[in-house]
Chain A
Amino acid sequence: GNSVTQMEGPVTLSEEAFLTINCTYTATGYPSLFWYVQYPGEGLQLLLKATKADDKGSNKGFEATYRKETTSFHLEKGSVQVSDSAVYFCALRLPRGFQKLVFGTGTRLLVSP
């Protein structure tokens, strides 16, 4: 079936450290890939997306590249801030799947000053 696997959390970093959150997927066809972020007490919001192989999504200093050969979409940021503390969800949408997204389990990021 279609699924998304994320690294277990929490990920604990100091401010200005480099961040990587791993995400791999299993899907039929060629899905679109997304990263959503959930700040404490809020709903999820779209962080970035990529719709085809080798596309790079970017937003707010975060980046992720759609790697078809490794079925991955790892999230990276060069220098995290305390305000980046949140839960990050990787997700996929199948072609012709309307807006039905399949989410990973989420990875909590904690950034300390």
Chain B
Amino acid sequence: NAGVTQTPKFQVLKTGQSMTLQCAQDMNHEYMSWYRQDPGMGLRLIHYSVGAGITDQGEVPNGYNVSRSTTEDFPLRLLSAAPSQTSVYFCASSYNGQGKAGGSPTGELFFGEGSRLTVL
């Protein structure tokens, strides 16, 4: 029962470096998303995708890039890391609820264990 798998779990970068946080899910979920978690601010949505080939911006997209070439994978790219991007990142997935099974979205997101990123 893998669920949502994030790698790496920990990463330290220098300002200006680039990296990719990987996210994979094996539940055939249409919807995938990235959140960042910061003290006193809860979780904020960075980017999301409602299916392969479709992505859109969330609340705090600047400095991040995403793509969705397969249903299973949704990588998050930092093109030029900044100290303000020091955070814990969570990937989450769910059914859209609008596909073959019909119905409406349930709101239940399945989260990975998180990736802690420090930018020096």
Contact = CB atoms under 8 A, between A and B. Distances in A.
Interface string A7-47: 00000000000000000000000001010100001111110
Interface in A77-105: 89, 91, 93, 97-101, 103-105
Tell me the interface secondary structure of chain B in the complex. Answer: strand
Contacts of B43: 44, 89, 101, 103
A99 B42 contact: no
Nearest to B9: A41
B42 A49 contact: no
Given A44-B90, A100-B48, A93 B113 contact: no
A89 B42 contact: yes
B107 interface: yes
A15 to B, nearest CB: 27
Interface string B64-101: 00000000000000000000000000101010100000
A98 B54 CA distance: 13
B53 interface: no
Interface of A: 4, 32, 34, 36, 41-46, 49, 51, 89, 91, 93, 97-101, 103-106
Contact of B113 (A32, A43, A98): A43
Contact of A100 (B45, B106, B108, B112): B45
Given A93-B107, A101-B109, A43 B90 contact: yes
10 contacts: A32-B107, A42-B114, A43-B111, A43-B112, A43-B113, A49-B108, A98-B31, A98-B50, A99-B109, A101-B43
Contacts of B111: 43-45
Contacts of B109: 36, 44, 46, 99, 101
B40 interface: yes
B87 to A, nearest CB: 14
Nearest to B112: A43
Residue of A41, A43, A101, A103 with most chain B CB atoms under a 10 A cut-off: A43
Given A98-B31, A98-B50, A42 B105 contact: no
A98 B114 contact: no
Going nearest first, the 10 A-B pairs with the smallest beta carbon separation are: A43-B111, A105-B42, A103-B43, A103-B42, A93-B107, A44-B111, A99-B31, A99-B94, A46-B108, A43-B113
